[in-house]
Structure 1
């Protein structure tokens, strides 16, 4: 997956005889054909208009992985220490545009120091829910974004990165690893405003893997959901409809909770391998605390706390070294603001992945979602498969056939 670009001696001057550096170029291109039924095409006085939707889309819209290229490097500092960095650009392979709201290195951009005691990095980074909990879900293993939890409500598909952050990651000791992250809010005279912190831990030994993470974001409408360029905080205007796949702030799953003073995500997952099969379970709790604050618009007058329980069971079978099958079921139950019942989402996913080589595979994913109850925009919940256009009804089916190449 990686290629050496050049020895660092050609890129930077050596400051000591023992210093050695390297820079690596890597990337992924994932593209495919998506089919979606009941996709919203407009709105009339009687409701939404819809139809079948066919589209060639990048992997970041329903595929296994978003297309990207990156540079990563190390420099030996001596004494067991080394400087490390990573710059990762996300792009849409179907039209060549930038991802993550147009950021140059919107996926990751950080620099730090590593040693036998762990590593410390600073910049735009993943939170610990993403680092420890997400890898054990169906989506990153074989299901892609379409198999992700509704609206990526627990950020398991790392829709949001953490800006202005410092992270410590421990070395692995007996299969155990832990990490912590803090993002400075940068507001003069108020240290905690817009701050984010996250902690997590993982254990992997033999057939058993466990991962857990926690994230706490103050004023999430700005600090968390507004972390991508051109994808800023929710406004009253973009809370007025069910929105689209490209506008997370108008996502009907949680957009109505933009006035929350804090966002809290707690998640844990486990997986166990038995021969060629691996079985997993996962649970997350996402809470929008103190609704009605000045953090964001509140057109529905919400107060109190809204939250989501999410539970997933998944399985995969490595039938041959080249062929993998997967299946998963995800259940999400929300509790709306002021104590009224929230939305419920049920998602079933099937996938198959065939490797033509070590670096190139072809795959297909099919998902079905059913929604019920009242969503965050105080309207009957409609199905909304992650990354897709919302449905006109409570049901939606999406199918993708794609190809992915790693370099």
Structure 2
């Protein structure tokens, strides 16, 4: 009888714990055929070399292949423990993304109640949470339609390490958040610090969001926070390329010596029946160029100031068929009297839901650049996710299958 009683008690206890705790496995698989009319392969002397390219691609060109675990534990009195760990990978090769970090997309733990949540770890900042879903990425099933080289980070190209974040649960449609990342430098509390603020308000068909992001010593603290990066002597933002390798992020890679990166962004969407119109404006700034944050071979000084404006339209022709389009304009001021640069981009897409979890989509992106870019060359087109063009124009197309679980 004692053994039976013990079994019943322990069994009941185990059942209670399971009932109060949940762990969910989730992820996405995205693979498709991508064509780009001009992708850099290197240099011939000072001349950039580029060729058309057709490939089976995933990762940054698609939805972002990932798997993760998220969970909650009820602690009683309305208080819960929450966590998430999320890993990015290339489905066609199996290689880890985010510089080889095992849980490079997210890894955090925190507490939540009716007032809000506090989380600690590697996570998305409050600026992203306030503005991203109001941009074309709110419905666009891939990252190639985001702003040139993702200069304002709305596609989450970079996350934030060592951070603590507070987000409210919401009050009459309003949610606010704040995040602080500790620099961890002995004797200098602010050297590598990152902080951000964000607010979202939604009522009926209307949504508005605004956010602010600030990273000190950004080449190391923000752009260099993955295992294969991190030193001030390397350019963690991008690459100047070589005779056998393409450039990376020419829109702003030359500004690795900025003492501070600052981004201000705001967006609004309004739904008219099955059609949603959105406007997003962001202002990325790379301030105090010439600091010790990173290399500065072009001897830049002052501030590189970008203004980005996006207009997007998405419409459900049927419950399962979505059409999307966007126009993006990016302008940079003159740095060291280089005259600045401009980028024009058009996005077109269609998404057909085969089920609640599986989509077939097609995307087309066209970009044109003018002026001189951050690498001191005539500005080349650089659609996010592709190798930059060897000329001032670039066009890409993607047909892919996306499954979420």
TM-score by length of 1: 0.92
Q: Distance in 2 between matches of 1:240 and 1:327?
A: 30
Structure 2 counterpart SS, 1:222: helix
Q: Distance in 2 between matches of 1:103 and 1:20?
A: 31
The aligned counterpart of 2:139 is 141
State the SS of the aligned residue for 1:256: helix
Secondary structure class of the residue paired with 1:384? coil
Tell me by how many angstroms 1:142 deviates: 1.7
Query: 1:229, 1:307 → 2: CA distance?
Result: 29
**Cα distance in 1 between the residues matched to 2:235 and 2:165:** 36
Kept in 1, the 8 Å contact 2:199–2:211? The answer is yes
Deviation at 1:235, TM superposition (A): 4.7
1:210-268 deviation line (CA, Å, top 9, x unaligned) = 11111000000000100122144575688762589x999x4211111111110000000
Consecutive unaligned residues in structure 1, runs of 5 or more: 1-9
Q: What does 1:1-400 align with in structure 2 at a 5 Å threshold?
A: 20-45=20-45, 47-58=47-58, 60-63=59-62, 65-142=63-140, 144-233=142-231, 235=233, 241-242=240-241, 250-400=248-398
How big is the alpha-carbon RMSD for the aligned residues of Structure 1 and Structure 2?
A: 2.2
In the aligned structure 1, how far is the partner of 2:316 from the partner of 2:222? 37
Q: Aligned-pair distance for 1:168?
A: 0.2
Distance 1:237 1:327, change over 3 A: closer
Cα deviation 1:326-363 (Å, max 9, x = unaligned): 11000000114235422111000100000000000100
Shift of 1:17: 7.5
Question: Of the two, which has the highest radius of gyration?
Answer: 2
1:297 & 1:154 partners in 2: Cα distance? 21
What's the CA shift for 1:154? 0.5
Number of equivalenced pairs: 392
Separation in structure 2 between the aligned mates of residue 333 and residue 234 of structure 1, nearest angstrom: 27
Indicate conservation of the 8 Å contact 1:254/1:375, yes or no: yes
Asked whether the 8 Å contact 1:42–1:48 carries over to 2, the reply is yes
Q: Distance in 1 between the 2:31 and 2:214 partners?
A: 34
Q: Which residue of 2 aligns with 1:6?
A: none
